[in-house]
Structure 1
Amino acid sequence: MAARRRSATPRSSRGSIRTRLAAPSGTRIEKDSLGACAVPAGALYGIHTVRAVENLGFSGRILANYPDYICALATVKKAAARANRDARVIDARRQGAIECACDALIRGEHLPQFPIDLLAGGGSIAVNMNVNEVIANLASEHLGGARGTYQPVHPKVHVNASQSTADVCHTAVRMTMLTRWSGLRRALVQCVAAFRAKADELRPVVTISRTCLQDASPVSLGELFGGHAEAIARRTGELAQSVRALTQINLGGTAIGSGSGASASYRRAIIKRLNEIAGRKFTLRPNLFDAAQNIDDLASVSAQLAMLAEVLIKIAQDVRLLASGPEGGFGEIILPAVQEGSSIFPGKINPVIPETMLQCCFQVLGCERATRLALERGELNLNVFEGAAAANVFDAIEMMERSIARFTERCVIGIVANRKRCRELASHARY
């Protein structure tokens, strides 16, 4: 009876399996070690990406929203393809197809194909596999293959050859921060210049100084602005120094710094290939095991961003106080009117630009705390939370760049002294 039951059931079970594995309309079926999964038929990504979106997405901070990070990842993959060709790990035909695919991503194409959440668990493997799958499908199509078959280019065997998520994302993260820093640096330089120019303009204006928010001696209004300029310049220099350390990377160290899975020929070639494609001078970290375990270089950048935020909080508060009033406050400066300030009080103008700067800085300080937690929780041989640190530093740099640029252009440059009020206050100075 048992034998008859076994012979009777396969017919119906085989039918149900066929039904279960049939691709729903508009999808294709891909398989991995866990089984089969439906993937949108036109997607350049594959099963690993679909699973990660279903299992891990929560924050809305998707890879598609970070095109500079995708560009950096594609640059690393392009360099790896050349180094793998040098090491005879892949042939010239596949190398050319992979490079062609990488070039499309470097140009900013196919952004909707990157739905991965940057804060997903698993040490950023979802990010790496999303990129691997997209490149593999583009490269395979370039060589006449069909999307989703990964023939003749496979995401792991060819695109990810000699690499690990750990060294790929480590390198691309630092490349992205270097790129983002250039924009923030420009904004900071312009902000310092604006404060210095405003200091010169306001130096003839004498008002009252305050200590402990109590009246003190007469002082030039320009001296306060000159101090603000120097504080921002100093923080810019310290931040630049922390960013320079990011040119030391671990590409070739693979998962934990040992280089396991990468040949000696590949490891000799990879940094040279990256530098020629990226147009930068990257060097290997002195200890690749350290690089896998510790992300204090990212935390250092984050800490400097936090200190910059704290300085800017002080400056924005000063500007807001000096502009308070016009009758019941300090009223020593007049800010550019950029927006109506009230739905109920006619003619009220609020210091919205300094307040926006303050709220940006609050967010940056939150990013710094998250980055520090990621540093602290990097247990043993690999810090799997580097992706969370990276996302927060990315966001902090971008928020700072935008907010500082607006603060400079729409507030600092247009500040005007209320000379009558300043003279009145200076006449009441106690010392």
Structure 2
Amino acid sequence: MEGGISISHNNEFVTRTEKDSFGEVDIPITALYGIQTMRTVQNLSFSGKKLREYPEYIQSLARVKKAAAMANQEAGVIAASISQPILHACDQLIEGYYHDQFIVDILHGGGGIGTNMNVNEVLANLANQYLGSSLGKYSPVHPVEHVNASQSTADVCHTAARMAIVQCFQRTDEELTKACNILEEKAQAFVNVTTISRTCLQDAMRIQLGDVFSGYVSLLKRRHRSLKEAVMSLLTVNLGGTVIGSGVGAPEKYKEVVIEKLREVSKQNIILRDNLFDAAQNIDDLAHASKQLSLFATSLIKVAKDLRLLSSGPEAGFSEIRLPSVQAGSSFFPGKVNPVIPETMIQSCFQILGCDRVVQAALEHGELDLNVFEGSACANIMDGLNMLTNAIALFSELCLQGVEVNMERCDELSNTFIPIVVELKEKLGYSAVSALIKEQDRESIKKLLK
């Protein structure tokens, strides 16, 4: 790559010109990214979602590059005079600086090449700037020859994206734990509240409202455990495998130490995949994590729908519980309050299910020796986790925390016909009560138990 400075008369911004084998591209003179980033933006953008919106991914990419630079120095691939400014640049990204420079579309094609080159160019320019060199000159630090030494997009993005998913999950984990704890408190608080159960949406026997809520707790805790196990298993990565898992292009000494360096940099318990060819070809580990996320979302839909039904009314519905009122429910009905928080939770889960479908499609459409759709799968898992985290936090604070019992209504429903009949069946038997129902009206049967 070569650089120069020119004036663009079209937008009146000062630019520099960078060249590659395809020609020249004008780039804002202060930009830390370069020509390969701009080509990705121009050729492969469609979603409107930029890499800069995924800070965990940028930080993970910087950690991978930092570990690679340390391993390359130890292996004698690059000199300390080159690796040290790269390490300094990586630290800047890890600390959250310059994330605005990551302008590629998160869903671009090409197997993630734009993502890898965006980080390579930003790190090279930061390193050269640190050494007093001009942006876009790529000397003495080159984005490919030095920042990307011993690496490929395939093992860099594979590794960084999985680390990013684990990092994203930390917030999710905290919010899911909080939601389960709140529901557990409600289950204990409602243990002495008797109401009616329903099967096939029809009246059934008496039940303690606390037992209903204990079922929600058990469901969500089980799904939380499964999701956590699936996400944490993603810390088994392929760094050192380069493109298709052969490791060609990376010296043995580098491959021996790079995972150890990555553990040191990331403070995560990262291990190397048993078969690096498998890692390049197949993303079933991502599909498994995504499926566990979708199962959690599906389970949350059930819980949120139940709360919506149990609070329905307040006069013509179930009305066994009251949900917190947070805003007006209608522009037409004065005083109407709707279950907007559960409905928001449900809609977020719909989106998560959509994200999972993309991940499963990315798995299905992988071909031969490299799944080039892996980046799309990773982005959708991060999107799903972020939506779940935000929605469950609102659900906990604005709904679950304030759920109250309508004692009068619960008492009324628990003493309706079917619960009474169930109790009578325990005394007289199913056949006797069935015959009695044919002969007598409901009020007469109720009197038998008084």
The answer to whether the superposition gives a TM-score over 0.5 is yes
Task: Report the count of equivalent residues.
Answer: 412
Matched residue type, 2:302: K
Matched residue type, 2:262: L
Map Cα deviations across residues 110-168 of structure 1 (whole Å, 9 max, x no partner): 11111110110000000000000000000011111100000110000000000000000
Where do 1:40-55 residues align within 5 Å? 40-55=28-43
Aligned residue number for residue 359 of structure 1: 347
Contact 2:121-2:143 at 8 Å conserved across structures: yes
Map Cα deviations across residues 157-186 of structure 1 (whole Å, 9 max, x no partner): 000000000000000011011111111111
Q: Aligned-pair distance for 1:390?
A: 0.5
Please give the alpha-carbon distance, in whole angstroms, between the structure 1 residues aligned to 2:251 and 2:133. Answer: 28
- Runs of at least 4 residues of structure 1 off by over 3 A? none
Please give the alpha-carbon distance, in whole angstroms, between the structure 1 residues aligned to 2:392 and 2:333. Answer: 29
Please give the alpha-carbon distance, in whole angstroms, between the structure 1 residues aligned to 2:354 and 2:417. Answer: 40
Please give the alpha-carbon distance, in whole angstroms, between the structure 1 residues aligned to 2:386 and 2:204. Answer: 39
Where do 1:56-95 residues align within 5 Å? 56-95=44-83
Contact 2:230-2:288 at 8 Å conserved across structures: yes
Please give the alpha-carbon distance, in whole angstroms, between the structure 1 residues aligned to 2:403 and 2:334. Answer: 22
Please give the alpha-carbon distance, in whole angstroms, between the structure 2 residues aligned to 1:406 and 1:71. Answer: 27
Where do 1:112-151 residues align within 5 Å? 112-151=100-139
Matched residue type, 2:334: P
**Cα RMSD over matched residues?**
1.2
Q: 1:154 aligns with which of 142, 157, 170?
A: 142
Q: Does 1:198 align with 2:181?
A: no
Aligned residue number for residue 296 of structure 2: 308
Q: 1:321 aligns with which of 309, 317, 320?
A: 309
Map Cα deviations across residues 287-331 of structure 1 (whole Å, 9 max, x no partner): 000000000101100000011111111100000000000011101
Q: Does 1:173 align with 2:161?
A: yes
Matched residue type, 1:152: P
Contact 2:6-2:14 at 8 Å conserved across structures: no
Q: 1:299 aligns with which of 275, 287, 300?
A: 287
Q: 2:330 aligns with which of 342, 348, 359?
A: 342
Q: Aligned-pair distance for 1:47?
A: 0.3
Where do 1:275-286 residues align within 5 Å? 275-286=263-274
DSSP 3-state at the match of 1:30: strand
Aligned residue number for residue 213 of structure 1: 201
Contact 1:27-1:41 at 8 Å conserved across structures: yes
Map Cα deviations across residues 395-415 of structure 1 (whole Å, 9 max, x no partner): 000111111111111111100
Matched residue type, 1:83: A
Aligned residue number for residue 265 of structure 1: 253
Where do 1:89-108 residues align within 5 Å? 89-108=77-96
Please give the alpha-carbon distance, in whole angstroms, between the structure 2 residues aligned to 1:271 and 1:391. Answer: 23
Q: Aligned-pair distance for 1:40?
A: 1.0
Please give the alpha-carbon distance, in whole angstroms, between the structure 2 residues aligned to 1:383 and 1:26. Answer: 40
Where do 1:230-269 residues align within 5 Å? 230-269=218-257
Aligned residue number for residue 396 of structure 1: 384
* TM-score (normalised: structure 2): 0.90
Aligned residue number for residue 23 of structure 2: 35
Please give the alpha-carbon distance, in whole angstroms, between the structure 2 residues aligned to 1:27 and 1:81. Answer: 30
Please give the alpha-carbon distance, in whole angstroms, between the structure 1 residues aligned to 2:30 and 2:379. Answer: 28
Report which stretch shifted further, 338-347 or 128-137. Answer: 338-347
Aligned residue number for residue 374 of structure 1: 362
Matched residue type, 1:57: S
Q: Aligned-pair distance for 1:33?
A: 1.4
Please give the alpha-carbon distance, in whole angstroms, between the structure 1 residues aligned to 2:268 and 2:379. Answer: 22
Contact 1:208-1:429 at 8 Å conserved across structures: no
Q: Aligned-pair distance for 1:105?
A: 0.4
* TM-score (normalised: structure 1): 0.94
Aligned residue number for residue 7 of structure 1: none
DSSP 3-state at the match of 2:402: coil
Please give the alpha-carbon distance, in whole angstroms, between the structure 1 residues aligned to 2:417 and 2:404. Answer: 22
DSSP 3-state at the match of 2:399: helix
Map Cα deviations across residues 250-293 of structure 1 (whole Å, 9 max, x no partner): 00000000001000011011011111111112111000000000
Q: Aligned-pair distance for 1:22?
A: 5.4
Which ranges in structure 2 are unaligned for 5 or more consecutive residues?
423-450
Q: Aligned-pair distance for 1:241?
A: 1.4
Q: Does 1:226 align with 2:214?
A: yes
Contact 2:15-2:27 at 8 Å conserved across structures: yes
Please give the alpha-carbon distance, in whole angstroms, between the structure 2 residues aligned to 1:93 and 1:429. Answer: 84
Q: Aligned-pair distance for 1:429?
A: 4.3
DSSP 3-state at the match of 1:413: helix
Q: Aligned-pair distance for 1:244?
A: 2.2
Contact 1:216-1:429 at 8 Å conserved across structures: no
